[in-house]
A and B are shown apart, each in its own frame.
Chain A
């Protein structure tokens, strides 16, 4: 921390604010405002904009893309207060975080907790610099909700591991450089036979096949492993400890997938605005379709309750308490996302059901594809049904009938 010599915490934070503002002003080009590509960290293709490349490099070297991660592994080494200040300063000038993807959202925090010193030194810095794209090798055709029934075999061959099997729903598999996977090192035990391993997607024997989704896109792949040799040092934790590590990683995934409280906030026109545009208003300026209007209200109120809960959960967990509220975030987030998409579609009528070509605006086509894609939110990262099981069994203590 550059301002360590200042003893008053408030002064120190203000000093950091100045430092952050100055650095951002110097490094974030105004031309990049609004040009954030949230999928860039997942999808392939190098960014053609040299200014965006330079911005990513600067943020990566500074470690501020992963502001609270330890500086010794390439993170920003900031406190939570400093990270919030940084975010505020970025918000002021429209700067966005160019470092993201599964490495940041899921793998990094998991490695920090479970990996050996060598593994941390090797794998975390490239994540902080946004150099390596990671994909997740968890689900298999026969192991979806029942993930622990996974069969991908990982055999100890003395000087290396040998992996055979098939993964599915590998997000961004066709663009990924590396994969973190759950594999079976022991076939005699269910959960304790699973290990957590890191593997190079360029290894011989790795084959990926994109899966076309109902939205027309192919963000996932089937991934096949045929006699893939993996160095011994790539196994994280102890053999058989993968289920514990993998579950911890899923917690990071679920927190991120719930939308983190950003849903329904500020961005773009509100449902009410869209409805007034497509449906029109009555003499008193209300949405002309009274039935639709009430359903929009119900939805918006639930979204507000969701945001309030997400905020409460964040505050409670920061103060060191385990928040029961966190268990509901993914399901509520999924429901709100999907309901908003359905309402948008209903409001737009036939204009919200275009697939491509003439006659539809970009916003309308985006609404259609987003609606279809959004159906995955209640399936991936633990289905709504599985989340409800967790609530019923672990929190409410409702056990299966015998």
Chain B
């Protein structure tokens, strides 16, 4: 556990209590059973906004608390433990980062207060295929008059069904640029995708969308900006994954301490003890690198990219292991829909794929480190 200051400790405890009391796994089950495309409970999101969580990384001047990424990571971890369905990670962390890092004063004024209050949901629209690959962006923004005309299709846009504004990566002719596109702009259409985690991952199409010049966030050649935004999104996903891993592990441990077979409590079998000890070990390693990445972002260090790839690759491998062990060690009951083990492995695989899987980040780490 990172050394937390008083504000961070309070924030984490508050998030933990809220998740346990107001947003347990049964709340996610309700969202799943409701089957709405939006994929979250607006009331739960409103409650999160009311507690200020939607503005944790937003400067005070724009209605936030400016507590930083580690603080928001703590919230995502705690709410991730109970699989809380919310746009917090996508809107309040990933998309907000684009505005913080590249936005003009006017763009920040226009959107950050609304995002910080929870009034608006923003989504990052980068990937165009089923696998994360920012090098394969084909969407195009062409200059027309003073502004731009945007065309292209984005795949599996997280919170794409409920977003009010998209931050879209597109080829500008001089590189990759990021564009602010309101969801109600003419030419924007979205198609829901029904996925295993019951959350929103929409196909969003931009058909000759006319944008003003001030829709561009940062430079026309903004690949570096995109990379930095993506690193923040990845660190946020890793924080949520940490929450999933911790809770999946704890629930499994609890089960082994209560389930009896052969006249013995399962947790007395040494073979199972060692498997749990191994998972505990991996989760401790995961925590160090996930928190390390968030701290590196807060400190503005120059090795954020390496730290983030280390964190995401480790998070993917660890959560993969823990989510599989959760089912296997629960046995038959973990295979039933009535139990929540399935919810964890389903959300786990989505997060493993989000913003680059373990192989992607191992490759990226190797490149950054000059291997």
Q: Residues of B within 8 Å of A, CB-based: how many? A: 47
With an 8 A cutoff between CB atoms, is B131 at the interface?
yes
Inter-chain contact A349/B331, CB cutoff 8 Å: no
| Any B CB within 8 A of the CB of A354 | yes
B97 within 8 A of partner (CB): no
Indicate if B34 sits at the interface (CB-CB under 8 A).
no
Q: Which of B164-172, B205-213, B294-302, B332-340 contacts A (4 or more CB under 8 A)?
A: B332-340
A340-354 vs B, Cβ < 8 Å mask (1 yes, 0 no): 001001101111111
User: Digit string of A341-374 for contact with B (CB within 8 Å is 1, else 0)?
Assistant: 0100110111111111111100000001000100
Known contacts A351-B130, A384-B328: A291-B335 contact under CB 8 Å: no
Contact mask for chain B residues 259-272; partner A; CB cutoff 8 A; 1 contact, 0 none: 01111000000011
Is B201 in contact with chain A by the CB < 8 A criterion? yes
Interchain CB contact under 8 A, B131 and A349: yes
- Residues of A close to B349: CB separation below 8 A: 345, 353
Stretch in A22-30, A111-119, A144-152, A237-245 with 4+ CB within 8 Å of B = A144-152
A346, B363: Cα distance in complex, Å: 15
B193 within 8 A of A: yes
C-alpha gap A279/B198 in the complex (Å): 25
Enumerate chain B residues within 8 angstroms of A350, measured Cβ to Cβ: 130-131, 155-156, 195, 201, 350, 353
Say whether A212 contacts B130, CB under 8 Å: no
B 344-359 to A, binary, CB cutoff 8 A, 1 in contact else 0? 0110011011000111
Given contacts A291-B362, A378-B328, A383-B331, A349 and B129 within 8 Å (CB-CB): yes
Q: Which residues of B contact A388 (CB under 8 A)?
A: 271
Verify if B161 is at the interface (C-beta below 8 Å from A).
no
Asked if A379 is an interface residue, CB under 8 A from chain B, the answer is: yes
B191 in the interface (beta carbon within 8 A): yes
B261 with A145: CB separation less than 8 A: yes
Known contacts A214-B335, A357-B193, A379-B328: A146-B363 contact under CB 8 Å? no
Given A355-B195, A356-B194, A357-B193, residue A212 in contact with residue B336 (CB < 8 A)? yes
The docked-state distance in angstroms from the alpha carbon of A143 to that of B21 is 34
Question: Which residues of chain B are within 8 angstroms of A338 by Cβ–Cβ distance?
Answer: 324
Among A243-297, those with CB < 8 Å from B are: 278-279, 289-292
Partner of A354, one of B193, B272, B332, B341: B193
B196 touches A144 (CB 8 A): no
For B125-160 the 0/1 string (1 means CB < 8 A from A) is 000011110000000000000000000000110000
- Residues B261 and A292 in contact, CB atoms below 8 Å apart: no
Interface residues of B in 158-202 (CB under 8 A from A): 191-198, 201
Q: Are A353 and B363 in contact (CB under 8 A)?
A: no
> Range of interface residues on chain A?
35 or more
B49 at the interface (CB under 8 A from A): no
- Asked if B336 contacts A355 (CB within 8 A), the reply is no
Is the C-beta of B342 less than 8 angstroms from some C-beta in chain A? Answer: yes
Q: Chain A's nearest CB lies how many Å from the CB of B83?
A: 14
- Chain A, residues 123-154, CB within 8 Å of chain B (1/0): the string is 00000000000000001001011100100000
Interface centre among B129, B191, B328 (most CB of A within 10 A): B328
**Is the CB of A305 closer than 8 A to any CB of chain B?**
no
A308 within 8 A of B: no
Q: Once bound together, how far apart are the Cα atoms of A284 and B149, in whole Å?
A: 38
Which of B203, B324, B332 is the one whose CB lies under 8 Å from A144?
B332
Contact assessment for A214 and B194 in the assembled complex, using a CB-CB cutoff below 8 Å: no
B310 contacts the other chain (CB 8 A): no
List, in ascending order, chain B residues with CB within 8 A of A292's CB.
359
- Is B233's CB within 8 Å of the partner chain A? no
Q: Is A376 an interface residue (CB 8 A)?
A: yes
The answer to whether the Cβ of B327 comes within 8 Å of any Cβ in the partner chain is yes
Known: A145-B261, A214-B335, A368-B196. A348 touches B328 (CB 8 A): no
* A352–chain B nearest beta-carbon distance, Å: 7
8 cross-chain pairs, A with B, having the tightest CB-CB distances, nearest first: A214-B342, A349-B130, A349-B131, A351-B130, A291-B359, A146-B261, A212-B337, A350-B130
Q: Which residues of A contact B (CB under 8 A)?
A: 139, 142, 144-146, 149, 168-169, 211-214, 216, 278-279, 289-292, 338, 342, 345-346, 348-360, 368, 372, 375-376, 378-380, 383-385, 388
What are 7 A-B pairs at a CB distance below 8 A? Answer: A212-B338, A278-B131, A289-B360, A350-B156, A375-B327, A375-B334, A388-B271
With A278-B130, A342-B320, A358-B193 given, name 10 new contacts (CB 8 A): A145-B262, A213-B336, A214-B345, A291-B362, A345-B349, A350-B350, A354-B196, A375-B327, A379-B328, A383-B331
B interface with A by C-beta (< 8 Å): 129-132, 155-156, 191-198, 201, 203, 260-263, 271-272, 320, 324, 327-328, 331-332, 334-338, 341-342, 345-346, 349-350, 352-353, 357-360, 362-363
